[in-house]
Amino acid sequence: MSTLWAELGGLLGDWRILAAAAVTAVAGLMRGYSGFGTAILLAPAYSVLWGPRIGVPVMLLLELFVTMQLLPKALGQADRRVMLPIGAAAVAFTPVGAFILLTADQETLRRAIGALVLVFGLALMSGWRYHGSRPLPLNLAVGTTAGLLKGATGISGPPVILYLLAGPEEARRHRANLILFFACIAVVSIIPPALGGLMGWAVLAKLLLLLPVLLVCVPVGARLFHVVPERWYRRFAFGLLVTTGLVTLVV
């Protein structure tokens, strides 16, 4: 416990925790509004501040808490026929991706995270979406890809979001589907880093300071979903994703 207090004391005098808190607040607003945004913003930002082997585990623990916060209301609105196979495949392959997190070069992994976020942001801005049907084999393939990305980078959303957003469902259903998907992999995603020794005092200290910021901002974002026009949100979110990806690549 004394080690934890020492870590907390060191963080309170570190500018990086203030920067992380600011990004966490924005990510919380995005997550509450749209159902995604936590990992896509926090994984690259935290990786720049502390490196992937600290930043990604902190983000995964935050993701677990915020998912449990949003899940109850989303369960009744989500399309379980589509989302449960995607979630099951992601759960199965997340540990495989985690092997990359545990063994890859930190600098290479950080830049890979930045490139993933940048490409995803540009894809969203371009308007490209998948417009085909959603058969079970394709659902499983999307889930497998998402699981591999989740384990390696902490970011599972891009393939699932691009796959789902072209559908005819209303925004409320899209949001619920994403929340259910993230719930499916939230628990399993923290197991490999924990077994690999990445969930140490440095991670827990950052979690204690950043979790209150996220838990406050997510409900605010959820309320904004009923107030802020979607076109305004999209412009802000897409620009933020591209900027985050670029910063992660060049810093």
Q: What is the mean pLDDT of residues 139-148?
A: 91
Q: What is the mean pLDDT of residues 151-174?
A: 78
Q: What pLDDT sits at residue 214?
A: 93
Q: What pLDDT sits at residue 1?
A: 60
Question: How large is the angle between the packed helices 136-153 and 171-195, nearest 10 degrees?
Answer: 50
- pLDDT of 233 > 70? The answer is no
**Interatomic CA distance for residues 12 and 8, integer angstroms:** 6
Q: What is the mean pLDDT of residues 34-47?
A: 84
Assign 181 a pLDDT band (cuts: 50, 70, 90): confident
- pLDDT of 212 > 90? The answer is yes
Q: What pLDDT sits at residue 92?
A: 92
Q: What pLDDT sits at residue 167?
A: 66
| DSSP per-residue codes, the chain | -HHHHHHHHHHHT-HHHHHHHHHHHHHHHHHHHHS--HHHHHHHHHHHHH-HHHHHHHHHHHHHHHHHHHHHHHHTTS-HHHHHHHHHHHHHHHHHHHHHHHHS-HHHHHHHHHHHHHHHHHHHHHT----S---HHHHHHHHHHHHHHHHHHS--HHHHHHHHTTSS--HHHHHHHHHHHHHHHHHHHHHHHHHTT---HHHHHHHHHHHHHHHHHHHHHHHHTTTS-HHHHHHHHHHHHHHHHHHHHH-
- pLDDT of 209 > 70? The answer is yes
Predicted confidence (pLDDT) per residue in 99-126, tens digit: 888 888 888 888 888 888 888 878 777 7
Q: What pLDDT sits at residue 187?
A: 83
pTM of the model: 0.81
Q: What pLDDT sits at residue 234?
A: 67
**Interatomic CA distance for residues 156 and 90, integer angstroms:** 8
